Structure 1
Amino acid sequence: MEISLDKHSANQASIKIKLNEADYQPKVDAKLKDYAKKAVIRGFRPGKAPISMVKNMYGLSLLVDEINSILGESLNTYLKEQTFKILGEPLPVEKADNSIDWKADKEFEFEYKIGFVENIQIALDNTTAATKYSILVDDKLVDETIENLKSQYGENSNPETSETGDFIYGDLKATEGDFSKTISLDSAKISKKLTGKFIGIGVDAVVEFESKEVKKEEWSEAFGLTADEQEAAKGPLTFTVKNINRTAAASLDKDFFDKIFGPDQVKSEEEFRAKVKETLQGSYVRESKVFTEEELKKVLVEKANLSLPDDFLKEWLLKANDGKVTVADVENEYPIYAKQLTWSLISNQIAKDNGVQAEHADVVEKTKEMIREQFASSGLGSQLEASMDLFVDNYLKGNDGQNYMNMLTSVQNDKVLALVMEKINLTEKSISIDEFKELLEK
């Protein structure tokens, strides 16, 4: 047997395997003899048919099976001995002339395409710099949150005439054209120029205005129109009022406190304000942690500078999902797949280099945390904890065990990122929620 590797580029190669008769024939003969002992052929007692007859009937299929078995084992062994990391699975190269003659040929040659990466190196030291963000919950954010809650849990009414802040329900139509849609107009989000037309009106009132009077952002924020609907709503428009909805802000009293945080959890406005701030801080701690980790991944990906065999991987994805995806599907989804694959390669290499390992106990604990978060607002705290082991077991066994593997990967990523943040040049930075939103938009 001869196995040779031909690298076409930094991340793609072909492997050729040549087999001669001595590589496969002894194994084929042994299987023929074993098969002859068990074969039931009409006209002969079981196991007594001539070996020549058994060979004529089954020899070709046994030959093909044995050669395929030898190829699979030899290819896997050879690849394990290499220093590079194989991506996907080797793809057999089909001969254009389909020239294999299984009956006559004694020597066979097969070729496979492979994609790989090598020399994954990430220096975890001061040469790698990143930022750890923490979001500050200031009084302004607390005030805004409380006002939103007061509005959300306020008392609804249907007044006779509209005021700023009301939601005006009605039919929006284009005077010229077929556009028509029933909408709920947020009067708090229209410009001063339009406010005069929509305030102080009642049910059945018809408001006339021009589309050019509406600012671009108002179409979606106030009128709730999609981009296509905005294109259709051109020229003169009419809005016929069907109903007016108004929400009076809730009072900061015990009933309101109980609705937000549960019975008897908060007893005063001061406690309520502190609880809102604590809840916001907890939420933004999670958000800033996720953002910091995603930014850190970008830094590590850039530093590793991996070059993926894109063409090979696209071909492999298409063949591995035979019939389930199209070339267009692969092209559209490939950037996301490549991003996930690149991070997975880097994370696994860091874990290997530093002895990072996800333990079963870590998987169980992370699953418990996930379940607690999902049921955080259900009020089932004690009952949940009593049945926690059952919840965890059911979840980790779900999806044919894939849930467990996903959680195992998540735990390893957590440990890898924690290790990275200990070793690199990490700058801590506190930012406001507005600054955080600006970072998210970049």
Structure 2
Amino acid sequence: MEITLDKQSANQASVKIKLNEADYQPKVDAKLKEYARKATIKGFRPGKAPIGMIKKMYGTSVMVEEINDLLSKSLNDYLKSQTFRILGDPLPVIEDADKIDWKAQKEFEFQYRIGFVDEVTVDLSSPIDVKEYQVEMGEAEVNDAITNLRRQYGQMTNPEESQANDFLYGDFKNESGSIEKTFSLPLSKVTEKELKNFVGLKKGDVVTFNPSKAIAEDVATVLGITAEEVEQLGKACTFTVQNINRTEDAEMNQEFFDKLFGPGQIESEEQFVEKVKAILAENYNKEIKVYSEEKIKDKLVANANIDLPEAFLKEWLLKANEGKVTAEQVEQEYPIYAKQLSWTIVSNEIAKANEIKAEHADVIEKTKDMIREQFASSGLGAQMEDSMDMFVDNYLQGNEGQNYMQMITSVQNDKVLAFVKEKMSIQQEVVSVEKFKELLEN
């Protein structure tokens, strides 16, 4: 067997494997003898069929199978021995494979294309300036959150007269009468200019309106009709009120506090406001932590100067997901994939150089934290902790073991980022919610 590597560029190469009869024939002969021992062929006692007949019947297919196994193992072993990092999987050159005469040839040559990156160096000796942000909650954001909570836990009523933000339940008819339906019309979807025509209505009242002017959002969605039906509406549709539905905001009392946070956890309006403020800040700061860490990753990747084999990776992604994605989808999603791949290369290099490992115990603890967060608002508390081991096992064994591998990667990333932050010059900055949203948009 002869294996040669031809580097065609800084990140792509071809590998040629030449096989002669001595490389594969002993394994082929051994497999055929095994077939002969087990074969049941008409006219012969079990295991007594002539080896010549077995070769004629199975020789070519066994040879193809053994050569493919030999190629796979030899190629993998060869690539593992190289100093560069293989990306994706080797792509066989199909044009050459199609020319093979399996019945006549004794020597074979196979060619594969590979994509790789050479040795990656991540220099952490020079200081890297980065910013970490912390979101400070303003009074407006807290008040909005409290308003939404009171509305969410409010009580449904049926007032006699409509107001803004009510729901009008009734019968709709288009101008020609070809479309009739009964549904609930949210007045929050009505334009400010036309809202006055829907306020002050009572049961039995009829309002005439032009949907294209009165509905502030997509008319088809709000009215629950098709795009074709929208064209048939006309300018003088009617809505006959059958009922008025209104959600009265929940009162700021002990019953409301207990529903949200459990019995006795909050005992005053002041404590409630502080609790909401703390939860909002925690949620925003989780988001901005992700943002800050992405910026750190970007700087590390940029400093590593990784040259990915873009054309090769796009071809490999298309073939690896054959039938599931199109070339256009690969083209569109490639920048995201390339960014993730570049960070994985950098993270692995930092972990290897500094002996950073994701231990099994770390995986268990991170999985527990994830499950606790998912159940945070369920009120299960102690019951969940009693069954925590079962939840963890079920999750980590799910998705054919991929969940465990993903959690290992996540733990390693956490450790790598924590290690890197110790080497960096990090500036802390407190920002408002508005500034936080600007950062995300940019």
Question: Is the shorter-chain TM-score for this pair beyond 0.5, marking a shared fold?
Answer: yes
SS at structure 2 position matched to 1:429: strand
CA distance in 2, matches of 1:430, 1:226: 45
What is the CA distance between 1:128 and its match in structure 2?
A: 3.4
**1:389 Cα deviation from its structure 2 partner:** 1.5
Give the aligned length: 438
Residues 327-347 of structure 1 deviation map (CA, whole Å, 9 limit, x = unaligned): 455455545444433333332
Structure 1 gap segments, 5+ residues each = none
Relative to 1, partners in 2 of residues 1:230 and 1:204: Cα closer, same or farther, differing over 3 Å?
A: farther
Structure 1 position 123, deviation (Å): 2.9
CA contact (8 A) 1:179 1:232 kept: no
> Cα deviations across residues 357-388 of structure 1 (Å, max 9, x unaligned)?
11110111111111111222222212221221
Provide, for residues 138-164 of structure 1, a one-character-per-residue CA deviation record: whole Å limited to 9, x for no partner.
333222222222233233322222233
Q: Does the CA-based 8 Å contact 1:172-1:183 persist in structure 2?
A: no
Provide the TM-score with structure 2 as the length reference. 0.84
CA drift of 1:108 comes to 1.3
Indicate the residue corresponding to 2:65 in structure 1.
65
Distance in 2, Cα, partners of 1:65 & 1:315: 26
Task: After superposition, give the CA deviation of every residue in 1:225-247 in whole Å (9 maximum; x if it has no partner).
Answer: 79996994797354525233333
What whole-Å deviation, never above 9, does each CA across 1:202-238 have from its counterpart, x for those lacking one?
33434445567569xx3269x9579996994797354
- Which residue does the alignment assign to 2:185? 184
Distance 1:184 1:211, change over 3 A: closer
RMSD across aligned positions (CA): 3.6
What is the Cα deviation at residue 268 of structure 1?
1.5
Q: Which residue of 2 aligns with 1:153?
A: 153
Q: Does 1:90 align with 2:78?
A: no
CA contact (8 A) 1:126 1:425 kept: no
Counterpart residue number, 1:342? 342
Unmatched 5+ residue regions in structure 2? none
1:95 partner SS = helix
Q: Is the 8 A contact 1:159 1:244 kept in 2?
A: yes
Q: How far off is 1:42 after superposition?
A: 6.3
- Could you tell me how far apart the structure 2 residues matched to 1:141 and 1:311 are? 47
1:168-207 mapped onto 2 (5 Å cutoff): 168-169=168-169, 175=175, 182=183, 184-187=185-188, 190-191=191-192, 193-207=193-207
Between 311-320 and 346-355, the greater mean CA deviation after superposition? 311-320
Partner secondary structure for residue 106 of structure 1: coil
Q: 2:424 — aligned with what?
A: 424
Q: Distance in 2 between matches of 1:245 and 1:405?
A: 50
Correspondence for 1:10: 10
CA distance in 1, matches of 2:176, 2:299: 54
Q: Is the alpha carbon distance of 1:433 and 1:174 closer, same or farther for their aligned partners in structure 2, counting shifts above 3 Å? A: farther
What secondary structure sits across from 2:348 in the alignment?
helix
Q: Secondary structure at the match of 2:98?
A: coil
Contact 2:363 2:408 in 1 (8 A): yes
Paired with 2:104 and 2:196, the residues of 1 have a C-alpha distance of: 92
1:269 maps onto 2:308 in alignment: no
Q: Map of 1:116-265 to 2, 5 A cutoff?
A: 116-124=116-124, 126-169=126-169, 175=175, 182=183, 184-187=185-188, 190-191=191-192, 193-209=193-209, 218-219=216-217, 224=222, 232=230, 236=235, 238=237, 240-242=239-241, 243-265=243-265
Give the Cα separation in 2 of the matches to 1:96 and 1:352.
Answer: 39
348-357 vs 313-322, which moves further: 313-322
Mark the CA change 1:169 to 1:120 in structure 2 (over 3 Å): closer, same or farther: farther
Where 1:434 maps in the other structure, the secondary structure is: helix
